[in-house]
Amino acid sequence: MSNHPSPALLAALRDRLGPKGFSSDSADLAPWLEDWRRRYHGAAAAMLSPASTDEVSDIVRFCADEGVALVPQGGNTSMVGGATPGPEGDALLLSMRRMNKMRSLSADANVAVAEAGVILAHLHDAAASVGRRFPLSLGARGSATIGGLVSTNAGGTQVLRFGTMRGLVEGIEAVLPDGSVFNSLAALKKDNRGYDLRQLLIGAEGTLGVVTAATLRLVPAVGSRSVAWIGLASPEKALALLRLLDNAVGDAVESFELVPRQALDLVLRHVSGTRAPLQGTHEWHVLVEAVAPMVAPDPEKEFGRALRAALAIGVVEDAVIAASEAQAEAFWRLRDSISEAEKKDGPAAKHDISVEVSTMPRFMVEAAAEVERRFPGTRVVPFGHLGDGNVHFNVRAPTDAAAGWIENEGLAVTAFVHDLVTAAGGSISAEHGIGQMRLSELARLGDPARLAAMRAIKKALDPKGIMNPGKLVPALDDAQESLA
């Protein structure tokens, strides 16, 4: 249990950070004390907004001295309440948004060094300005920040070829829970000096320290891209198509996103200016993006040829290749709006699951049938990153569900889904992390050896428990509580 910040600590922090770096004004704090989904409402005595690593280091040192907890936050786009403080009000919110400098950007070295508060879309623009690209992308790219993306090992819609953040981070600078600065920004291809602290900090959700900057891998800019919207009969057919495209155009396929008819309907109903790309009705769709660097020989032709072959052998029901960048963007808007449309439509028990890629089509269809049978009136709308074996297996509440469905019946649905995933050898959190939302489920279903190791690492690096408490690392009694 952490301590409440004393007036002396708050005064010292105010002095150190100045007016731009310290606020205890409730109107300033309010938007940052609630998560994107409006599921978690926290409290904090102040919001600290450092502008440099030195300031972060002093903040952490001052707080460690008094045993006061810190909750790091970037763009506040966590899907699992990972950046929202608890309701007790004894933690301080540590906003990293003012640390938003690109420290360096080199097309020759193929890396960018970005501070934690750099917004993903700004990194995309910066990389493009030197003829390179940072390949990871997601719907929240206009507000998600590098520190949060690193700390959650973010995935998104472009993982297929270049991997998650783990595969794209080449160096890290972080402030550890005693205030010391871990500087490992050098992009060393080989480094065998023991435990890889960088990898430990990636995906640690701020529980082992605060990421202040990262060295990120850049890849060649897009020479041309082919974006297609494809209608098909089943997830099995979708996976067959992915293998077919793999053979035809290799790793040019960078996105392979599954969209069920119901998810498309939600977007068309709730998001203005959207229209269905295909004329007929299809139970399933995939959005495919194939990218070729500047030098590739006529990739569009190969991609079109492969799709026509898929159509001829019945893998695909119908398909349209975007005829312009504007049309490609319109296809992507349909995909990227699913979360928003779903939120507008009503309550759902959300799940972010993975199983082995080859087993996902069958798993998701069978699991959806079992859920709908066991919980009459629910509808499963699984969508997302089929090419990564990761779908958002979201279960919509029955239309006549009472208020509070998520916190009541929804919990039983979640336990049921997670039991099925665990039995299939999969993960209950493929890309969104654990935060506070999945803590009790991780405690209930996590491998005991893994949980014991996580607790031991947390205790060793953060003995006072001041870094983002109540997130990611389950306490021994966390299996009792649950929130979908």
Judged by beta carbon distances under 5 to 8 A according to partner kind, the member of Zn ion, ligand 2HG, none in contact with residue 215 is none
Q: Give me the 41-80 binding string for ligand 2HG, x by CB under 6 A, dash otherwise.
A: --------------------------------------x-
CA distance linking residue 263 with residue 282, whole number of Å: 12
Total Cβ atoms within 10 A of residue 464: 18
DSSP type of residue 152:
T
CB of 62 to Zn ion, least distance (A): 37
CA distance linking residue 389 with residue 427, whole number of Å: 10
Judged by beta carbon distances under 5 to 8 A according to partner kind, the member of Zn ion, ligand 2HG, none in contact with residue 350 is ligand 2HG
Count of residues near Zn ion by CB under 5 A: 1
Q: Give me the 388-417 binding string for ligand 2HG, x by CB under 6 A, dash otherwise.
A: ----x-x-----------------------
Q: Give me the 347-386 binding string for Zn ion, x by CB under 5 A, dash otherwise.
A: -------------------------------------x--
CB of 139 to Zn ion, least distance (A): 8
Query: Which residue's Cβ lies closest to Zn ion?
Result: 384
CA distance linking residue 123 with residue 120, whole number of Å: 5
Choose which of 42, 209, 235, 384 interacts with ligand 2HG (CB under 6 A): 384
3-state secondary structure of 178: coil
Beta bridge partners of 387: none
Residues 122-181 that bind ligand 2HG (CB under 6 A): 139
CB of 385 to Zn ion, least distance (A): 6
CA distance linking residue 208 with residue 473, whole number of Å: 10
Name the residue among 33, 83, 35, 31 with its Cα closest to residue 470. 83
Output b/e per residue, 22-54; b: 16+ Cβ within 10 A: bbeeeeebeebbebbbebbebbbbbbbbbbebe
Instruction: Considering the complex, state which of residue 206 and residue 384 has its C-beta at the smaller distance from Zn ion.
Output: 384
Length of the chain: 484
CA distance linking residue 324 with residue 110, whole number of Å: 29
Q: Does 380 bind ligand 2HG (CB under 6 A)?
A: no
Judged by beta carbon distances under 5 to 8 A according to partner kind, the member of ligand 2HG, Zn ion, none in contact with residue 139 is ligand 2HG
CA distance linking residue 31 with residue 41, whole number of Å: 10
CB of 359 to Zn ion, least distance (A): 19
Name the residue among 109, 128, 111 with its Cα closest to residue 215. 111
Q: Which two tokens stand for residue 386?
A: 């089929």
CB of 430 to ligand 2HG, least distance (A): 9
- Residue 275 to residues 226, 289, 370, 385, Cα–Cα distance (Å): 19, 19, 32, 22
Name residues whose C-beta falls within 8 Å of residue 182's C-beta, 6 or more positions apart in sequence: 172, 173, 174, 175, 176, 197, 201, 209
Instruction: Considering the complex, state which of residue 203 and residue 470 has its C-beta at the smaller distance from Zn ion.
Output: 203
Instruction: Considering the complex, state which of residue 82 and residue 177 has its C-beta at the smaller distance from ligand 2HG.
Output: 82
Q: Which helix (H) or strand (E) holds 106?
A: strand 102-106
Residues 312-371 that bind ligand 2HG (CB under 6 A): 338-339, 350
CB of 181 to ligand 2HG, least distance (A): 32
Instruction: Considering the complex, state which of residue 271 and residue 479 has its C-beta at the smaller distance from ligand 2HG.
Output: 271
Judged by beta carbon distances under 5 to 8 A according to partner kind, the member of ligand 2HG, Zn ion, none in contact with residue 67 is none
Instruction: Considering the complex, state which of residue 257 and residue 409 has its C-beta at the smaller distance from Zn ion.
Output: 257
Instruction: Considering the complex, state which of residue 80 and residue 411 has its C-beta at the smaller distance from Zn ion.
Output: 80
Total Cβ atoms within 10 A of residue 423: 8
Judged by beta carbon distances under 5 to 8 A according to partner kind, the member of Zn ion, ligand 2HG, none in contact with residue 39 is none
Instruction: Considering the complex, state which of residue 225 and residue 350 has its C-beta at the smaller distance from ligand 2HG.
Output: 350
CB of 103 to Zn ion, least distance (A): 29
Instruction: Considering the complex, state which of residue 171 and residue 384 has its C-beta at the smaller distance from Zn ion.
Output: 384
- Residue 29 to residues 32, 48, 52, Cα–Cα distance (Å): 6, 10, 21
DSSP H helical ranges for 6-144: 7-21, 26-29, 53-66, 120-129
Residues 78-97 that bind ligand 2HG (CB under 6 A): 79
Judged by beta carbon distances under 5 to 8 A according to partner kind, the member of Zn ion, ligand 2HG, none in contact with residue 293 is none
Judged by beta carbon distances under 5 to 8 A according to partner kind, the member of Zn ion, ligand 2HG, none in contact with residue 98 is none
* Number of helices and strands in the chain (H, E): 17, 19
- What one-character-per-residue DSSP string does 399-462 give? TTPPTTTTTTHHHHHHHHHHHHHHHTT-BSBSSS--TTTTHHHHHHHS-HHHHHHHHHHHHHH-
CB of 354 to ligand 2HG, least distance (A): 12
CB of 221 to ligand 2HG, least distance (A): 24
Judged by beta carbon distances under 5 to 8 A according to partner kind, the member of ligand 2HG, Zn ion, none in contact with residue 137 is none
Judged by beta carbon distances under 5 to 8 A according to partner kind, the member of ligand 2HG, Zn ion, none in contact with residue 338 is ligand 2HG
**How far from chain centre, in Å, is Cα 463?**
28
Instruction: Considering the complex, state which of residue 117 and residue 384 has its C-beta at the smaller distance from Zn ion.
Output: 384
CA distance linking residue 6 with residue 202, whole number of Å: 32
Footprint of Zn ion on this chain (CB under 5 A)? Answer: 384
Footprint of ligand 2HG on this chain (CB under 6 A)? Answer: 79, 139, 338-339, 350, 384, 392, 394
